[in-house]
Amino acid sequence: MPSPHSRIGLVRVHVPEARQSSREIEEELCRQSPGAALPTGLLEHMFGLRERCVAAPGDLPSDLAARAGAAVLEDAGLPPEAIDLLVYTGITKDLDEPATANVVAAKLGVTAPVFDLMNACNGVLSALESADALIRLGSYRRVLVVTGEAPSRLTRWRVPDRGRLASAMASLTLGDMGAAVLVEASERPGILGSRFFANPAAWPSAVLRSPYATGRMHELEVDDAALTASFAGLREQTVKAAGELIGAVADCALFCVHQPSAAMTRILCSTTGIPEEAVIPTFAHHGNVATATIPLQLVLAQEQGRLREGDLVGIVGLASGTSVGVMALRW
């Protein structure tokens, strides 16, 4: 029977122990690419990065996701068979075929249906929207959304000259993390609503090309100026959606926003009217952890006592492509 509502029951993250400081990143780039001439301190000055999380060499994306998923099951007191659907949303994954969700489910002992859902850094947000719809339809009652991000392995250490440095900079800030979100059927409203908007013509601004298209491996290339500009046309829709879903900004106990850099977080807050103090900064000490960014903020908010039952939470996700997602939650 369809459930009237869905809610987030639990969120957990797996944070790798290893860290790589911005100074260490700069030194390694200069060692491998002396012609790039990267100025010391540029990563902190330009992006606000002090250090990033780095997964252990043997860890796969599925391992990061499974550890976060196992923490959810343990803390919720649920056996693996209590999960009705598992969705994997990471940009990085173990396999192209089959779905990496199968690998994560096998590691957790989950035998429910699974699938992968990809939408760049908005993967988790898109999966939450999908889980909400499926639960409301009555198809499932418990959906486990997981991600395992290991994008530090996409770092472009080989930059032939300073002219190519700009497109490699974003790759130096990527951090690794696993995350899991339990979405459950509920009698009270939890996920209050969501809206997504896209500017598909801007897709060339941040690209990791598939080897299937060209027959060879490619590196991540990001035009930071073009990517930032691509979101400008979505500002009006984003602000309107936030007003419809959330109401007054002051009513929100917390805002979770995607954080590709400290500067981008400030720009997002200023253009949407979100108070910076309502956002928990994560970029400086974790890096851009892609789809794990929103779950990380929810976990930190709980640990810091900033998120309590009944609180209103606003979420604004950004992703290359370009897409923006807005969601309202009642915790």
Q: What is the pLDDT of residue 247?
A: 83
In a shared domain, residues 155 and 222:
no
At 250 the pLDDT is 81
Other beta carbons within 10 angstroms of residue 309's beta carbon come to: 6
Tell me phi and psi for residue 31, to 5 degrees: -70, -45
DSSP string, 252-314: -SEEEE--S-HHHHHHHHHHHT--GGGB---HHHH-B-GGGHHHHHHHHHHHTT---TT-EEE
Give the rounded distance of the alpha carbon of 67 from its chain centre: 17
% pLDDT > 70, the chain: 99
Cα–Cα separations (whole angstroms), residue 156 to 3, 28, 95, 136, 263: 47, 11, 22, 43, 21
Q: Are residues 19 and 162 in the same domain?
A: yes
Q: Determine the pLDDT at residue 282.
A: 98
- Dihedral sign (CA 219, 258, 282, 95): negative
- For 234, how many CA atoms within 13 A lie in the half-sphere containing its CB? 28
158/224 same-domain check: no
For the chain, which residues score pLDDT lower than 50?
none
Among 120, 154, 186, the domain boundary falls at 186
Does one domain contain both 177 and 198?
Answer: no
pLDDT of residue 3: 66
Count of the separate structural domains present in the chain? 2
Q: Are 29 and 36 in contact (CB under 8 A)?
A: yes
Same domain, 14 and 135: yes
Give the pLDDT score at 208.
Answer: 87
Question: 161, 186, 211 — which closes off a domain?
Answer: 186
Q: Which domain holds residue 120?
A: 5-186
pLDDT in tens, 126-179: 999 999 999 999 999 999 999 999 999 999 999 887 778 888 899 999 999 999
For residues 69 and 143, is the Cβ–Cβ distance under 8 A? no
Going from the C-alpha of 76 to that of each of 3, 86, 144, the distances in angstroms are: 20, 16, 12
**Greatest Cα-to-Cα distance within the chain, rounded to the nearest angstrom:** 63
Whole-number Cα distances in Å, 207 to 127, 215, 237, 306, 309: 22, 16, 24, 36, 39
Q: Are residues 305 and 170 in the same domain?
A: no
**What pLDDT shows up at residue 306?**
94
Residue 276 and residue 257 in contact, taking contact as beta carbons nearer than 8 Å: no
What span, in angstroms and rounded, lies between the C-alpha atoms of 102 and 85?
11
State the CATH number of the domain containing residue 310.
Answer: 3.40.47.10
Give the Cβ contact number of residue 73 at 10 Å. Answer: 21
Residues 151 and 37 in one domain: yes
Residues 6 or more apart from 115 whose CB is under 8 A from it?
A: 87, 88, 99, 101
Domain boundary (186, 208, 242) is at 186
End-to-end CA distance of the chain: 24
| DSSP symbols for 180-193 | EEEEEEESS--EEE
Q: Give the β-pairing of 85-88 and 142-149.
A: parallel
Whole-model pTM: value is: 0.95
Express each pLDDT in 45-71 by its tens digit.
999 999 999 999 999 999 999 999 999
Q: Quick check: helix, strand or coil at residue 93?
A: coil
User: What are the backbone dihedrals phi and psi of residue 184, each rounded to the nearest 5 degrees, phi first?
Assistant: -130, 155
